[in-house]
Amino acid sequence: MPEGDEVTGLLALMLLTHARREARTTPGGDLVPLAEQDRKRWDRALIDEGLALTRAALAGPALGPYQLQAAIAATHAAAIGAPLRRAEARRAGSDAAPGMPGTPCAGATVRRQACRGPFSSESAGPRRR
């Protein structure tokens, strides 16, 4: 069921986003940019679960907007021990699949490398619908 991969992608995206909740704001409530977040405050268990779900979501025959967004979030989360470099952020977030409604970058081309970054095999990359 292709829709199942998209639902799995949404769950992965939610977990990867939620894993950063403690580091996303200052004690005063101000937002902390991703590159400035204290990654030691990220929830490693949620990140591991989100990465595993992202791998599963990308294993299907199609790529939907939540799968793509989860893959981008996974690229950031996989670098938990290293600061996010500008090149990594550009590679991960600069392009999205053409014709993918609901994504902020609709109309651009997916860079397969960005989505494969945190994964061990070439076959883990996304495929267009």
Sequence ranges of the domains in the chain: 2-124
Q: How is the chain classified by DSSP, letter by letter?
A: -HHHHHHHHHHHHHHHHHTTGGGSB-TTS-B--GGGS-GGGS-HHHHHHHHHHHHHHHTSS---HHHHHHHHHHHHHTTTTSPPPHHHHHHHHS---TT-TTSTTTTS---HHHHHTTSSSGGGS----
Q: What is the pLDDT along the chain (129 residues), one digit of tens a residue?
A: 457 999 999 999 999 999 999 999 999 999 999 889 999 999 999 999 999 999 999 988 888 999 999 999 999 888 765 544 444 444 444 444 444 555 444 434 444 444 444 444 444 444 444
